[in-house]
Amino acid sequence: MPTEAKRETVAELRAELASSRTLIVSEYRGLKVGEIAEIRRALRKQDVRYRVVKNRLIRIAAADTVGEALSPLLIGPTAIAFGTDEAATAKAVIDATRPYKLVKITGAVLGDRAIGAADVVTLAGLPPREVLLAKLAGAIQSPTATFAGLLGANLRNLGNALVQVRDQRAQVVA
C-alpha cells in the first residue's frame, strides 16, 4: 500500500514530466551527497532540474506519458535532468557532470522518443535552438535577397546608361 509521501512524490514527478520536453537519465553510483548538490546547483543556473528518483516511482509517474521510452533507461541508481530545450539541456548536463567521472549518462527521452548516451553527447554539441532557427531563416531568405539584387541590378544599369547618354548629348550640344 503506497504511503502519502510516495503519492506526493509521484504527483511531483508527473508535474515535472508534464513541464519538460527533455529528460536526461544518468547513473550516479558512487557520488557523495555534496557532489550531487553541486551538480544540482550548476544545472539550476541553466534552468535544468536534477532529481535523484526511485525507478519504481518514476515508472508509475511516467506510465501514461513517456513510460515506454523511459523504462529501458531506468537501471541502477537513477538521477534525471528535466529541461525544456533539448540541446541546451544536454550540454548543461554534460558540462555539470564532466568533473565527476562516476556519473554515467545512460540515455535521454526527447518528447516521447528515447535516445542513447552517444546521441546525448552529439546533441550537446549542437548550437541552441534559436541559433539553428536563425540559420534556417537566413538560408531561406538568402535566395530571395539575391534575386531582388539581380532585379535591382538591371534597373541600376539602365539608370547608369541613361546618365551616360545624357552626359554625351550635353557634351555634343556644348
**114-119 mean pLDDT:** 88
- What pLDDT shows up at residue 174? 66
- What pLDDT shows up at residue 1? 45
The CA distances from residue 122 to 98, 140, 143, 146, in Å, are: 15, 25, 30, 34
Bigger pLDDT: 152 vs 50? 50
Q: Please state the pTM of the whole predicted model.
A: 0.71
**37-64 mean pLDDT:** 89
**11-26 mean pLDDT:** 89
Q: Tell me: pLDDT of 2 over 80.
A: no
- What pLDDT shows up at residue 81? 92
